[in-house]
Structure 1
Amino acid sequence: MQNHPVDFKRFLAMSLTALSLLTSSAQVSNAQDRAVPPPVPVLTMRPGEDDKAPDRMFYGRVAARATVDLAFEVGGRIVTLDAVEGQRIAAGTVLAALDPAPYERAVARAELSLDQAERAFRRADTLAARDAASRARADDAETARDLAAVDLREARDARSDTRLVAPFDAILAKRIASVGALVSTGEPVVRLQDMSELRIDVELPERLLGRIGDPQEARFEAEIHGIDGPLDLAFREVRTETGEIGQSYTVSLAVAKADMHPWLLPGRSATVRAYLPKAETGVAVPATAVVTRGEGRHFVVAVEPDGDALVARHLPVEVTIPDGSTVRVEGLPANAEIVAVGGHLLEDGDPVSRYDGLIAKAE
């Protein structure tokens, strides 16, 4: 067997080359192990920037302040009825009149009776002063005179009651009787809607009314088709009678005088927006921004700078839902920037970037 001489220099060079390759491979592997993961794009927001008073929308109906049926306080035959349905009527306008002849005669009779009673009293008083008649007879004559005066006042009042006058600014909603009809005392003749103040009635659920507390603390606006708005509304009253199932309360709101449009008539539909009082504590955040971990602890993931990058930080907060739908948290620092959605996928210290459409921006 022939022995070949070993080229020592060549062997050494090959060994060094192999060692260098192994070392480079190990360095690349270690560098890959130490590589920082790419930042996670997240949608962020700043709570409190748009934290305005919450609002709710309801459907209401325009209503008059009151609706009343007018009637004569005396009976008789209607001879005048100047009442056009839908017409606006000023307070003091004569709407209808009865035949005054019977009441004119009653006034004439009462005036004659009073004159007769007055003469009888003067005679009796003169005789009593001369001791020609008893004082009791003079007193009776005085009483008869006073009664005749009362009868005259009643006759004159009845005569004035033959005219039906509008007691307030109103709209004639309905003409119930007709000219020539014979009506009795208290029988409705016309129906008026009080337009001295226009109202809009809305139904507020029991839970929302409890959330508002005092309705005077809320602000109301109405939008009505065909009328420039919105119209400012003022709280007037709440009816405490509720439906057996719906448990809603009717709240009456007043339209300002300056906003009363000529064709803003009772019965028109309206959209009413109620701006509720702002919560005293905490800021509103979307429910997706709250992260719940073990033992019922709640967190909000804040985005904070870390050098030239951004990282996620879990901040413990107290969560309340005052109106059953809006989530409010306490414990956030002022002007905090938080993750609006997906915070439960992040760990404390994870690198993040702001998501803006299809582009993720990092600082």
Structure 2
Amino acid sequence: MPRVVIFLAAALLATSAHITPASAQGADVTDLDPSGQIVPLPSVKILAPEDLTSGITRRFFGRIAARETVDLSFEVGGRLVMLPVVEGETIPQGSVVAALDTENFERAVARAELTLEQTRRESRRAEQLAQSNVTSAVRAEDAATARDLAEVALRDARDDLEDATLRTPFTALVAERIAANFTNVSPGQPILRLHDMSEIRVQIDVPERLFLSGIPPEAVRFTGSVPQAAGPIPLQLAEYEAQTEAIGQTFLVSLTLPDSNIPNLIPGASMTVTATVDVDYAQPGRALPATALLLGEDRTASVMIFEPDGGAADRGTVHVRPVELLSLAGTDLRVTGLAKDALVVGAGVHLLRDGQKVRRYTGLSVEE
């Protein structure tokens, strides 16, 4: 080999041997790979201690509902001649919302009045003849019965005439016009669908495990949130169906909305409902996601605890800590055996080792 090449190779080796310690100066030995290059500290997501004074919370998808939703119909049949309402309109209680052609009903009332007048005359005549022993008392009684039947027929005719006009039984929001104007309708056929908005309700589906957890209703505080309201809306428990839904094994719970001045709260609209359980009834332990748990072959559980270094809050060391795993309601995982101020690694724990140095994940950043 030429002497020049040997000289250059020896010079390069000496230079690299001189530079490598300088580049690793101040770095921990465990932060270097076998080639001597610095390995960046892994970034981990840290779960801060939960607020133990706020209890536990659940969020549900809620649907706005009216206190009652009814389909109005006539008790008599006829031709629909008036349907003045508009869908989405709010109508005061007692307002006329539909009417049938009343000509036939008015004639029926007139016939019933004439019949009643005739039977009254016959009843008086038969009573006078019975007192004079000209006719039998049985005939007088039959005449009185015919008079009474005529009175009942007149009341029926007047009721039919009144039933030919539909009035709203409450201050209502018109949901749907089911029948069309100028059509013949039969008794009991739905004409209008109305919402009773005197009390606005929110309905949520509560899973069976939560519903039967033994927590009293007075220990749960409900609040709702909608885009058109600035802050949380207080809700109160109204009632619940004492049977489960056919799909999902859930109970339908109805909550009342005391503040009815919030705009655009119509049946079918959505609302996010938050249920907060009083801390006295909260489940023991600390809730953690499944990604924060290390499960052993013997079904023991442990977590990774982050301990910050002296002056650097975003850098530290992780250590394995055994915990007790439980799930009383069957809806979340809770652990016991941790200090209240313990910082737990939330994900990727299977990629870390006990005593490894890491840095806290604080979000993505772009450097120019």
| TM alignment of 1:61-72, pairs within 5 A | 61-72=63-74
Give the structure with higher Rg (CA): 1
Residue in structure 1 matched with residue 244 of structure 2 by the alignment: 241
1:274-303 deviations in Å (ceiling 9; x for gaps): 21344367454768999999x999999xxx
Residue in structure 1 matched with residue 17 of structure 2 by the alignment: none
2:196 to 194, 197, 215: 194
Residue in structure 1 matched with residue 170 of structure 2 by the alignment: 168
Is 1:48–1:283's contact at 8 Å kept on the other side of the alignment? Answer: no
Q: Percent identity?
A: 39
Amino acid at match of 1:125: E
| TM alignment of 1:26-105, pairs within 5 A | 50-105=52-107
Is 2:48–2:342's contact at 8 Å kept on the other side of the alignment? Answer: yes
In structure 2, relative to structure 1, the CA distance for the partners of 1:71 and 1:281 (3 Å cut) is closer
Q: In 2, distance between residues paired with 1:179 and 1:284?
A: 63
1:8-44 deviations in Å (ceiling 9; x for gaps): xxxxxxxxxxxxxxxxxxxxxxxxxxxxxxxxxxxx9
Q: In 1, distance between residues paired with 2:105 and 2:126?
A: 31
Question: So what's the TM-score if we normalise by structure 1?
Answer: 0.66
Is 1:72–1:161's contact at 8 Å kept on the other side of the alignment? Answer: yes
Residue in structure 2 matched with residue 327 of structure 1 by the alignment: 334
| TM alignment of 1:1-363, pairs within 5 A | 50-211=52-213, 213-215=215-217, 217-235=219-237, 236-238=239-241, 240-244=243-247, 247-278=248-279, 279=281, 282=284, 284=286, 320-322=326-328, 324-327=331-334, 329=336
Of 209-218 and 106-115, the range deviating more from structure 2: 209-218
1:200 shift after superposition: 1.9
Q: In 1, distance between residues paired with 2:180 and 2:226?
A: 35
Q: What secondary structure is seen at the aligned counterpart in 1 of 2:259?
A: helix
In structure 2, relative to structure 1, the CA distance for the partners of 1:51 and 1:202 (3 Å cut) is same
Q: What secondary structure is seen at the aligned counterpart in 2 of 1:243?
A: coil
1:231 shift after superposition: 1.8
1:186 shift after superposition: 1.7
1:141 shift after superposition: 0.8
Residue in structure 2 matched with residue 7 of structure 1 by the alignment: none
In structure 2, relative to structure 1, the CA distance for the partners of 1:213 and 1:283 (3 Å cut) is closer
Amino acid at match of 1:321: S
In structure 2, relative to structure 1, the CA distance for the partners of 1:74 and 1:291 (3 Å cut) is closer
Q: What secondary structure is seen at the aligned counterpart in 1 of 2:111?
A: helix
Is 2:49–2:343's contact at 8 Å kept on the other side of the alignment? Answer: no
Q: In 2, distance between residues paired with 1:289 and 1:78?
A: 67
1:207 shift after superposition: 2.3
Is 1:46–1:336's contact at 8 Å kept on the other side of the alignment? Answer: no
Q: In 2, distance between residues paired with 1:160 and 1:238?
A: 37
Q: In 2, distance between residues paired with 1:197 and 1:336?
A: 43
Gaps of 5+ in 1: 1-43, 301-314, 347-354, 358-363
Q: What secondary structure is seen at the aligned counterpart in 2 of 1:258?
A: coil
Q: What secondary structure is seen at the aligned counterpart in 1 of 2:244?
A: coil
Residue in structure 2 matched with residue 32 of structure 1 by the alignment: none
Q: In 1, distance between residues paired with 2:223 and 2:340?
A: 33
